[in-house]
Amino acid sequence: YGLLLRQDPEMAEVLLAELERLRGGLQLIASENFASPAVLAALGSVLTDKYAEGYPGRRYYSGCEVVDRAERLAIDRARRLFGAEHVNVQPHSGTSANLAAYAALLRPGDVVLAMALPHGGHLTHGSRVNFSGRWFDVVAYGVRRDTETIDYDEVRDLALRHRPKMIICGATSYPRTIDFAAFRGIADEVGAWLLADVAHTVGLMAGGAVPSAVPYADVVTFTTHKALRGPRGGGIMCTEELAARIDRAVFPFTQGGPLMNAVAAKAVAFGEALRPEFADYTRRVVENARVLADALAAEGMRPVSGGTDNHLALVDLRGIAPSGAVAEQRCADAGITLNRNAIPYDPEPPTVTSGVRVGTPCVTTQGMGTEEMKEIASLVARTVRAPDAVGEVRERVRELATAYPAYPS
């Protein structure tokens, strides 16, 4: 930060304040992680300067022979990591990847079957405030009231009734394993494309901690900045048969020049994820989440569906705190960053909610284990239950965060 500090102290101060914030608290947002210094180095590199519309060896600008190497590395590593036939590493985000997937497979007005937002789906899976809900005819499936898990019978019934052109599986706040084979069977029965949006779980998939969607889905969209621990960005995997359609849907249909610094940083992250230590990391993320969910349950904070199979838990706070929003604020005051989240069949509006979502990618990157998860559950419970405990909890949070520093210097 030395150079920035001299040239633009105002912005340098912002960056340092953010580092301070990360180092001084507990980050339990399930969709966040700490990118490695090597990923940050690639992001902050001269590759940001290069225009490279097109694909390696087929660019619309000259001087791309060096950045071509970066993109080829990213593609080769991702293909090895996931066993995918084709990978596009250019989407700027998970949303951009989904936009391109819709564009490649559908026409406006086509019927899509996807998970309802209040049951764990994403905005891009058919919300009315998003392109997906505005331009497509989206039918939503949800989770059962009793088990709070996906109702595959309902998915099949809706598919047979509405004959969607595409079915989307994958979610933003769903703590259980998704049965990709069951979705494939339903998609085949009605002749629909199957899109698996594994934005949240792709890192765990890379490390083998959750089952892969790649053998089942026609198209798999993902983000690189969550458990995968890469730069903020997206990607798409597909069969060889769909490769040209997907590539054209990214560029030139929905994007212009790729962010070559981000593409290089994705390659670095894929390289890190290919190492055995990363598989171990993903196993610990899931183990930590399970222990955290169980410990929260022991504190009277009910995990939706009874627990978790992945990196996150959704907690029902009814009877414990006035709302998810209040709990979020109380935790923030204590230095614990988590997000309010609707629970299935939530009686509260989305800005208020009855629950919070917690995730373990960040704290696991910091090296915390199951003992720390039990303590975090107790700190969350104390904060949420008794706002006057916030000061005391804040102190302990700071000690824990200092013992396991994010970005150790």
Residue ranges of the binding site:
117, 121-123, 240
Query: What whole-number distance in Å separates Cα of residue 141 and Cα of residue 155?
Result: 6
Whether the Cβ atoms of residue 313 and residue 303 lie closer than 8 Å to each other: yes
364 closest CA partner among 269, 229, 267 = 229
Give whichever of 207 and 234 is closer to ligand PLP, judged by the CB atom. Answer: 234
What is residue 119's three-state secondary structure? helix
Q: 179 an active-site residue?
A: no
What amino acid occupies position 54? G
Dihedral (Cα; 52, 90, 166, 173), 10-degree rounding: -160
Q: In the 8-state DSSP scheme, what is residue 11?
A: H
User: Which residue carries 């290089």 as its tokens?
Assistant: 264
Q: Are 287 and 97 in contact (CB under 8 A)?
A: no
53 given a catalytic annotation: yes
Q: Where are the alpha helices (DSSP H) in 274-389?
A: 276-298, 324-333, 361-365, 370-385
Given the rule CB under 6 A, which residues bind ligand PLP?
31, 93-95, 98, 122, 124, 170-172, 197, 199-200, 223, 234
The β-bridge partners of 302 are 316
Closer residue to ligand PLP (CB): 172 or 282: 172
Residue 138 sits at φ, ψ, to 5 deg, of -100, 125
Please, which residues bridge with residue 235 across strands? 222
Residue (59 or 174) nearer to ligand PLP, CB: 174
**Catalytic entry in 77, 226, 284, 330:** 226
Q: Which is nearer to ligand PLP, 86 or 225 (CB)?
A: 225
Binding-site residues for (6S)-5,6,7,8-tetrahydrofolate, please?
117, 121-123, 240
Of 230 and 303, CB closest to ligand PLP: 230
> Is 223 an active-site residue?
yes
Specify the DSSP class assigned to residue 404: S
Q: How far is the CB of 308 from ligand PLP (least distance, A)?
A: 16
Name the active-site residue from 71, 148, 151, 197: 197
Query: Cα(98)–Cα(240) distance, rounded to whole angstroms?
Result: 18
Residue 57 structure tokens: 């060896």
Q: Are 169 and 163 in contact (CB under 8 A)?
A: no
**Closer CB to ligand PLP, 95 or 261, in the complex:** 95
Active site residue 197: yes
226 is catalytic: yes
Beta-ladder partners of 115: 141
Please report how close the Cβ of residue 8 comes to ligand PLP at its closest, in angstroms: 27
- Residue of 32, 51, 68, 318 marked catalytic: 51
How far is 211 from 282, CA to CA, in rounded Å? 12
**Among all residues, whose Cβ is closest to ligand PLP?**
94
- Return the active site residues: 51, 53, 197, 223, 226, 232
